[in-house]
Amino acid sequence: MENPTPPSTDRAQVIKTNAIGLSKKDYDGAPSTLCKGCGHNSIASQIVQVGFELNLRAHEIIKLSGIGCSSKSPAYFLGMSHGFNALHGRMPSVSTGALIANHTLRAIGVSGDGDTGSIGMGQFKHLMRRNVRMVYIVENNGVYGLTKGQFSATAEEGLQLKYAGVNEFPQVDLCMEAIIAGCGFVARSFAGDAKQVRELLKAALSHRGTAVLDIISPCVAFNNEDDSPKSYGYGTKHEKPLHELGFIPYAEEISIEPMEPGEFRTVRLHDGSHISLRNLDSGYDPTHKLAALERLQRAQDTREFITGLIYYNPDRPSLAEVEELDTPLAQLSAEQLRPSKAALDQFLQSYR
């Protein structure tokens, strides 16, 4: 919402509110200016829905992005939260700084495949190396939407598009890159699969470090021919969910329904919430790094994309934990930030 208005208290009872008394509308942003049917819009709607369902408090959230059509979308959700639309490919460094300044904020970042996989690859990798706690969404359409259809680094080798011609180079798989960089929460989804996007988002928000969601998000303007792997048509036909996902927030502890042995795995998230996975691929283990990489490679070879939580490892501490941050640096008082005159005089003794 560009012109934030406080939630009104005298609303008619019929409007559904969440546990903190906000309606879904309170999680909206400005109206989208993206193309109708753009996958990015569906993802923005799911973020709104998740904010509502998880009772997120606006001031506890920051939204960040790089540059691209995808990166515009933070303007279209959570209008009552601070936002930072950074430079092309540079969301990671800004997020790192902001979350060091105030590590109690929860960050939702939106980037594109060009923003992340081309110009921003270096920062993307270093963000995950440092394990900065944030949800990092890549709205992956295989092209540069905003600059009108050039190939991005995630475009499949041999892909032919009207404007861009034939892509001669191998694709970058951002999930593989994330796993190799040390990311402990790597998932892939499809913008058209609203339920799965929501569940992954909820789980990602609970993760202790960087959580990467690579969401195939078709560009209806430049990459939506049915034989293109990042089109809607292809996506609905070739999406292969790894597992069904149920997310149970810590706040509303629900007893888990009995599960068939072998079919389910419940993973406890760092903040105490749980995520349960239904293994469709028999024997798929999302906590096994090499297996995850192997599975991704196989999917690439057969030109299908697997969706779900591909890799999960909550062991590594976040950057804020490594830095032993306590009171947010941004909230320290002048007294805490400036040592005394006596300390200065004493310190200078050794330079006499």
Ligand X SMILES: Cc1ncc(C[n+]2csc(CCOP(=O)(O)OP(=O)(O)O)c2C)c(N)n1
The partner in contact with residue 222, picked from ligand SF4, other proteins, Mg ion, none with C-beta cut-offs of 5 to 8 angstroms by kind, is ligand SF4
How far is it, in rounded angstroms, from Cα 226 to Cα 235? 9
| 238 token code pair | 């070739």
Site for other proteins in 27-66 (CB under 8 A): 30, 57-60, 62
Q: Is 215 in the site for ligand X (CB under 6 A)?
A: no
Other beta carbons less than 10 A from residue 326's beta carbon: 9
Whose tokens are 């001669």? That residue is: 168
With respect to ligand X, which residue has the nearer C-beta, 67 or 292? 67
User: Dihedral angle at the C-alpha atoms of 156, 228, 299, 248, nearest 10 degrees?
Assistant: 110
With respect to ligand X, which residue has the nearer C-beta, 131 or 231? 231
| List 151, 222, 234, 284, residue binding ligand SF4 (CB under 6 A) | 222
| List 113, 177, 214, 239, residue binding Mg ion (CB under 5 A) | 113
Other beta carbons less than 10 A from residue 250's beta carbon: 12
Contact 191, 201 (CB under 8 A): no
Using DSSP's 3-state secondary structure scheme, residue 206 falls into helix
Site for ligand X in 81-110 (CB under 6 A): 88
CB of 148 to other proteins, least distance (A): 18
Q: Is 152 in the site for ligand X (CB under 6 A)?
A: yes
With respect to Mg ion, which residue has the nearer C-beta, 98 or 191? 191
CB of 72 to ligand SF4, least distance (A): 8
Contact 98, 108 (CB under 8 A): no
How far is it, in rounded angstroms, from Cα 31 to Cα 103? 30
Q: Nearest to residue 73, comparing CAs of 206, 172, 215? A: 215
Whose tokens are 């001031």? That residue is: 59
Q: Is 79 in the site for ligand X (CB under 6 A)?
A: no
With respect to other proteins, which residue has the nearer C-beta, 6 or 283? 6
Q: Nearest to residue 309, comparing CAs of 327, 330, 287, 338? A: 287
Region of 4-12, 100-108, 110-118, 166-174 interacting with Mg ion (CB under 5 A): 110-118
DSSP character for 222? T
CB of 336 to other proteins, least distance (A): 5
Q: Is 218 in the site for Mg ion (CB under 5 A)?
A: no
Q: What share of the chain is helix, strand, coil (3-state, %, to 5)?
A: 35, 20, 45
Region of 30-38, 113-121, 226-234, 272-280 interacting with ligand SF4 (CB under 6 A): 30-38
Q: Nearest to residue 58, comparing CAs of 83, 33, 41? A: 83
Q: Is 181 in the site for other proteins (CB under 8 A)?
A: no
Q: What string marks each residue from 88 to 127 as x (binds other proteins by CB under 8 A) or -?
A: --x-xxxxxxxxxxx-xx----------------xx--x-
CB of 89 to ligand X, least distance (A): 7
| 120 token code pair | 């921003």
Query: Residue numbers of the site for ligand SF4 (CB under 6 A)?
Result: 34-35, 38, 40, 69, 141, 145-146, 219-222
Query: Residue numbers of the site for ligand X (CB under 6 A)?
Result: 67-70, 88, 112-115, 139, 141, 143-147, 152
